[in-house]
Amino acid sequence: MIKTKVLIFTISVLVASIIYINFSRQTEIMITDQNLNFSNVAVKNFPLTEKGKIEWWKINKATLQKKFNIPAPAKDGDWYISIWNYGDGFKAKPKGDIKVFNSDTQDMMCFNNDSEKCIDKDLIMRIKNNKSGGVDIQLGDKKINLD
């Protein structure tokens, strides 16, 4: 009887935790950057699952276009979007000779050519259009086609 109550309590806490995490983690777009047809977006509280990431794209692609003009296709129609984890927030790029290979600067992504608005490189996903008119999403080593 006690084991059953403990099991029910544990399952209840687990379910409540999952619900809380899913509903309290509102994704925020912190900053965007664009260079030709390449766009970068830094986000906070991005969905954790593959399905959640794909759903975020489907739901937010119109907002990205309307609010940030992302994607911005090249003349040939190609476009690319990189979604980065905002992580611990903005950091200043270390001073010094950045031409020398330096892990402090190589592992940072700076937005809008501002050395005060850099984040640690933590790529969440890449999105690009494909020749058949659909979209390809790359999550780590996995490529997903959304035609």
pLDDT in tens, 41-80: 999 999 989 999 999 999 999 999 999 999 988 888 899 9
Q: Which residue has the higher pLDDT, 121 or 98?
A: 121
Note if the pTM is more than 0.85: no
> In this structure, are residues 146 and 136 in contact, taking their beta carbons and an 8 Å threshold?
yes
d(CA 65, CA 71): 6
> In this structure, are residues 46 and 85 in contact, taking their beta carbons and an 8 Å threshold?
yes
Bridge partners (DSSP) listed for residue 81 = 39, 127
